[in-house]
Amino acid sequence: MTRNERRLGRYIRDGEGHPSTKSAEQMADELKKSIDKKQDEIKKVADDALTEAKRTGTLAEETKATADKTLTELNTLKEQLGQIEQKMARRPGGDGEQVKSYGEQVVESDRYKSFVDNGARGSLRIDLKATDMDVKAITAAQAGTAWSARDNEVVSMPRRRLVVRDLLNVVRTTSGSIDYARQTTRTNNAAAVAEGAQKPTSNYIWEQVNVAVRTIAHLAKLTRQAIDDAVQLQGEVESEMRFGLALAEETELLNGDGTGQHLTGLIPAATAYAAPITISSPTRIDMLRLALLQAELALYPSDGIVMNPGDWAGIELQKDTTGRYIWSDPLQLGGPRMWGKPVVPTPAIALDKFLAGGFKLQTLYDRMAPEVVIASENADDFEKNLYTMRCEERLAQAVKRPGALIYGDFGLVT
């Protein structure tokens, strides 16, 4: 028997081994909070270690000892939580209380007696406790399997980093559509005028633009047994659904064609790249600088560059004739930047393509933040013990200044 099992014993005990007045649920909640706090400490230790490694090139023994101690404490808390959850999941009467047979539980229950007294009409539900035979069968079945212990980790597939939303100007809206005025003509005829002479007339024209709020949504099915048997799974599915929604959102923000229920994406609305000056044999680095210049000559400030991770890696790996890296130093850990602008590598944009310019000059309107709703009354879910999970959001995007965004092709992939 492990130390934690002895501390649990027949009763739930406190941190000093004495019988605790707290319920198992209360102690489990406290342990979960302690685990969250300890994970925050581990993150801080990792950040401090990274800073120390960058500053000195190595880690002090004290830093290593602190990290080892924190990880050990975290593992101990997780083990204690697992023991308490197993205690909570144990059958009633597991500490010596005799569990009655199913028949005895039914006929002796108050609900059954009331049901009979009322003429045995309608339906009846009675929650039955597991019998000794059931517990023995379960124990025997689990004895030779790896499922006799609980591992609280739910292993998910890798997720892509989502970055496009962070580039945009995001505002809240309470409307189903947004109208805004966009200038289309500026004819400036201002000039020096002689006294008493006719003044010249300038011409300015605006158009009314409407942007509709669109819905992005999806559904997922989950069995009741899965939720009951792994309480972490519901939260994990919610997280997956929110990620899936954000993934579809990023595709729409970049590539939506504006037809049907699609958003108007940044790329379809952007201005095509056209080098404003001519240089011989331009590289990817040259073309990005020329794209920024194109936006600047259109009088728009630039604040970012988006490209595929493969193209960014190609830029970082460029070398001069002596074999030295041109743009990057492998020993530096700084974030990607080029020509003073942040570079955002993302698979959301195709290889060999780039988008550069003023992202903050465009607006993303949030009508409804992502929400997850769970119901068991959809279709035949009730009959099949299923839950339907729905995740959706409502938003609109206005590419107000298309001339601020320059979209082009490096021309290296045919």
Q: Which secondary-structure segment (H or E) carries 115?
A: helix 110-117
State the average pLDDT over residues 327-352. 86
Instruction: Write the single-letter amino acid at 330.
Output: P
Largest CA distance in the chain: 112
What does the block give as tokens for 30?
């406290």
CATH of the domain at 272: 3.30.2400.10
Whether 68 and 184 map to the same domain: the answer is no
Q: Is the pLDDT of residue 180 over 80?
A: yes
Q: Is the pLDDT of residue 206 over 80?
A: yes
Whether 262 and 372 map to the same domain: the answer is yes
Whether 183 and 72 map to the same domain: the answer is no
CA-CA distance, 215 to 337, in Å (whole number)? 34
Q: Is 145 among the domain residues? A: no
pLDDT for the residue numbered 230: 61
Q: pLDDT for 132-151, tens place per residue?
A: 444 444 344 444 444 455 56
Q: What is the dihedral of CA 105, 107, 108, 114, to 10 degrees?
A: 120
**Maximum average pLDDT range among 33-37, 133-137, 367-371:** 367-371
Whether 241 and 371 map to the same domain: the answer is yes
More confident residue, 355 or 59: 355
Q: Is 112 among the domain residues? A: no
State the average pLDDT over residues 193-211. 95
Q: Is the pLDDT of residue 334 over 80?
A: no
Domain boundary among 54, 69, 89: 89
Whether 283 and 373 map to the same domain: the answer is yes
Whether 186 and 38 map to the same domain: the answer is no
Tell me the percentage of the chain whose pLDDT exceeds 90: 44
Q: Are 12 and 24 in contact (CB under 8 A)?
A: yes
Q: Are 34 and 19 in contact (CB under 8 A)?
A: no
pLDDT for the residue numbered 141: 42
Q: pLDDT for 92-104, tens place per residue?
A: 444 445 556 555 6
pLDDT for the residue numbered 4: 45
Q: Is 139 among the domain residues? A: no
Q: Is 172 among the domain residues? A: yes
Q: Which secondary-structure segment (H or E) carries 40?
A: helix 24-56
Q: pLDDT for 109-126, tens place per residue?
A: 776 567 557 655 555 555
More confident residue, 396 or 229: 396
The model carries a pTM of 0.61
Q: Is the pLDDT of residue 344 over 70?
A: yes
Whether 170 and 28 map to the same domain: the answer is no
Q: Is 351 among the domain residues? A: yes
State the average pLDDT over residues 237-266. 92
Mean pLDDT score of the chain, rounded to an integer?
A: 80
State the average pLDDT over residues 46-50. 71
Whether 189 and 42 map to the same domain: the answer is no
Domain that holds residue 227: 164-414
Q: Which residues, in sequence order, are CB contacts of 73 under 8 Å at separation 6+?
A: 38
**Number of domains the chain is built from:** 2
Q: Is 142 among the domain residues? A: no
pLDDT for the residue numbered 408: 97
Choose among 362, 369, 359: nearest CA to 394.
369
Whether 258 and 341 map to the same domain: the answer is yes
3-state secondary structure 222-287: EEHHHHHHCHHHHHHHHHHHHHHHHHHHHHHHHHCECCCCCCECHHHHCEECCCCCCCCCCCHHHH
Choose among 63, 14, 70: nearest CA to 37.
70
Q: Is 352 among the domain residues? A: yes
**Maximum average pLDDT range among 77-81, 154-158, 324-328:** 324-328
Q: Is 199 among the domain residues? A: yes
